[in-house]
Amino acid sequence: MGLIKCLDCDRHVSLNADHCPHCGNKRFREQYFERQKRWEEEEIRKKENDIQKAKELKFSSVEEMKKAEKTKEKNLEIFEWVVDNSTNIVITLAIIIFLLWKFAFSR
Ligand SMILES: [Zn+2]
């Protein structure tokens, strides 16, 4: 318990140590907590951005917006799949049409 990462050497150090035993970094604790704080501030900013964006795009909530984004992504994936497989799809359709045509004229 109480292990944090030294940002200079990327190895774990006990919170109680007064310097990093791996690289001798004396500021490992401050560096870690500064980064932690920056990360938290970044998270808050992201959340505020999302709320702002949802408002601008007239979504009732951030969840609604995220859901819509996911649906959009999914549709894009399907579209990309169709584009990637367009040759196969065309060939398959051609074979089906050919077989239907052959069947129709074989009677
Ligand atoms: Zn270190």
21-22-28-33 Cα dihedral, nearest 10 degrees = -100
Q: Per-residue pLDDT averaged across 7-31, rounded?
A: 95
Q: Rounded to the nearest 5 degrees, what angle is found at the Cα of 27, between the Cα atoms of 23 and 30?
A: 135
13 CA → ligand 1 middle, Å:
7
* 75 and 23 together in one domain: no
Q: Under a CB-based contact definition with an 8 Å cutoff, are residues 13 and 27 in contact?
A: no
Q: Would you place residue 107 in the very low, low, confident or very high pLDDT band (cuts 50, 70, 90)?
A: low
26 CA → ligand 1 middle, Å:
8
* 2 and 45 together in one domain: yes
* 50 and 15 together in one domain: yes
* 7 and 33 together in one domain: yes
Instruction: Please state, rounded to an integer, the average pLDDT across all residues of the chain.
Output: 94
Number of domains in the chain: 2
Q: Would you place residue 101 in the very low, low, confident or very high pLDDT band (cuts 50, 70, 90)?
A: very high
74 CA → ligand 1 middle, Å:
43
Instruction: Identify the domain boundary among 38, 58, 78.
Output: 58
44 CA → ligand 1 middle, Å:
29
14 CA → ligand 1 middle, Å:
11
Alpha-carbon gap, residue 53 to 59, rounded angstroms: 9
18 CA → ligand 1 middle, Å:
11
Grouping H, G, I as helix, E, B as strand and the rest as coil, residue 4 is strand
Return the pLDDT at 1: 59
pLDDT tens for residues 34-56?
Answer: 999 999 999 999 999 999 999 99
Instruction: Give the structural domain span for 6.
Output: 1-58
* 51 and 92 together in one domain: no
* 38 and 74 together in one domain: no
pLDDT tens for residues 80-100?
Answer: 999 999 999 999 999 999 999
27 CA → ligand 1 middle, Å:
9
